[in-house]
Amino acid sequence: MLAFCLFASICFNADPAPTADQLRFFEEKIRPVLVEQCQNCHSAKAASQKKLKGGLALDSREAWLKGGDSGQVILPGKPEASLLIKSLHHEDDLKMPPKGKLSKVVIADFERWVKMGAPDPRVGANLVGAKPARVINFDEGRSFWSFRPLQVVPPPTVASPTIPGWPRNPVDQFVLAKLQAKGIHPNPVASPRILVRRAWLDLLGMPPTPEQMTLWSRKLDAGGGKIKQQAWEELIDQLLASPYYGERWARHWMDVARFAESHGYEQDYD
């Protein structure tokens, strides 16, 4: 009984074999358009030349069933839900071919083809340039710097630079040692105005106003070419508390998350 149920499940769930008329329709109406309009950018050949667009190949049934970066583009039997049909109609920012819309007759042929189950006799394997499986060497990975145990490293001995009061801490000593090893001389200490401008641009992405520049330059200028550390910390705290700081750095994280507003939160057709 179990074997019969399994057999019946396989039979009823399998795609029906296309008829001779359906295959003839594909060969006469669909394949020529795919070859002429699509396969320069959506084929195994395009993948081998690193010209594949959207991770999508359309030169075999296996390829378009796999889909691309936007998922499966052809849903057999459902032309109204297929991204390919939407792109042919130039809907929702989808425009294929990008240089011009196909004729209504050709688009109707594609809708009919998808509605009949998208019969496609073309077969192929590894059409989208399958990459060889990556072998992970865990022993080698453990030697990566971030997995090594922390060690106490004494600061290197450096020759005294011409800048008074520098280096001021062990980190400065490491930086200066690398500079001296490469024959590079450190820049002189920045003026209060330069420091204020750097802080604004680095943290907020915009320059300070003239009033802000004047205020903080005076606070930082302690006389004698030194910077008031307390005033500097106060400035940085104020900039970090600004909503503009959150806006600036949220943009970087949104880029990492590949956020876009080209079509809302559902799709990014760009």
Q: What are the Cα distances from residue 66, in Å, to 63, 132, 179, 228, 269?
A: 5, 18, 53, 62, 18
Residues 6+ apart with CB under 8 A from 119: 18, 19, 22, 23, 25, 26, 113
CB of 40 closer than 8 Å to CB of 46: yes
pLDDT digits (tens, 9 = 90+) for 65-122: 888 888 899 999 999 999 899 989 988 777 888 888 899 999 999 999 999 999 999 8
Q: What are the Cα distances from residue 152, in Å, to 46, 144, 149, 174, 202?
A: 53, 18, 10, 13, 31
Other CB atoms closer than 10 Å to residue 119's CB: what's the count? Answer: 22
Nearest to 200 by CA among 157, 160, 244: 244
| % helix, strand, coil for the chain, step of 5 | 50, 5, 50
Reading the block at residue 259, the tokens are 């956020």
Average pLDDT over residues 176-202: 92
Q: In this predicted structure, what is the pLDDT of residue 130?
A: 46
Mean pLDDT for all residues in the chain: 84
Conformational region of residue 68, where left means phi above 0, alpha means psi within -120 to 50, and beta covers everything else: beta
Residue 127 gets which letter from DSSP?
Answer: T
pTM of the model: 0.44
pLDDT digits (tens, 9 = 90+) for 140-155: 888 898 998 998 999 9
